[in-house]
Structure 1
């Protein structure tokens, strides 16, 4: 059961309308790394969690908080659209070229969402569930969560630098603070699981079934050997199973492929290359 209260988690009130900035905020609402994505990602991971209850509870705590962040952004976007010059928005709605001239306002805020936020990114592309990860493997999922918080924070910080409105900056400062906390939480959870199960996800695949040299060799497959200077090219493997090996001149290990011809076909030369023509289709 979810229970909604009217008060926001934190303040979300701009000093003045700004329809152009409202469009920019759509990215951290409905974009790939927006609040809608982390909300759905954490909630689905929590709903599906079969691990120890503390992990399920943490996922649902943070996921439910993200619902509140979605509401804050929607509230801020709606207020940024309040009092926007209606004549300009009307004109932009009729002529996309004029919309660009007017500075990047989003005609859909007038046409589709009635001067409110929409579940889309800053270009109007609809949010979709392909943005989220919920695999059932906690280590893999928590690493995806750390990535989502990292990419999201990069975008929010960039948006902070693109406004001087004290009300917007106040809300973004709070969201930045929560993103910092969540990155630390996912890092802590990842370290805890790695301590128990190791650093490879999943931990269940038998190591004796791997091609062992391939688990440690770093292949130099681009011009230059600067990559050999990194910790990923020499020294101990993080999983404790050996050491990295740098291969400066890798060679193919498989022969050239030869594909068998289909049993029932005719050959026809069309243009410069051979094509297979199925029987019964020659006249098409």
Structure 2
């Protein structure tokens, strides 16, 4: 894997030299923008409207527009100093329980490996976090962006999850149309909970696939081979007109996941029938 950052984790006066690697990769299929008339790929040109010339990357700086058409300019070195990226430090501020962090805060995951001289300190931090059950909350600057981060253990690796600052997470109160008071039908609630029980399973990420990516790649292969693109017809939706019927139909469509729980499934359907009849 490609090293994306080098620095150190610090907690108290302890420094752990580490190298950082991206833990995830983007598997989206890249499609170019093409001129429909002649099938030529389109290019993006960085052009200065004043000089009427194309601008090279090394001639580009960043600026903040404080008034219409007026900017204050920063070069890369200034931004690095302001962000603290120059010190290359992941500074742990607190140790907390992972369950205290809502998933809405998580951004991107990185793996941290010990640098050449940091194996002992790395192992110490890893094992002490594993045995304490705590994760570290840290501050870090990567590519001129300051982030909070959660430092935790995955197997025998220290991982870092960048997380949003609280003021970057929008308030739920901004979401329109949310109910002021939750009111549900008791019978429908019982049926819904039974359906959840039927669908409950241990989390196994290997069973989930990107259906769109697979379909798109198959279409690409068909076009390369000069074939007509074929797409499987969409499954017809059941015409269920009320919520109780939809719940009942969902339960009836469920099949036993294994031979052993078959009796449990039969009992669940029986309970569903009684709930419907009592309504």
Report the TM range for the smaller structure's normalisation.
under 0.3
Provide the TM-score with structure 2 as the length reference.
Answer: 0.24
More helix by share: 1
Provide the TM-score with structure 1 as the length reference.
Answer: 0.24
More strand by share: 2
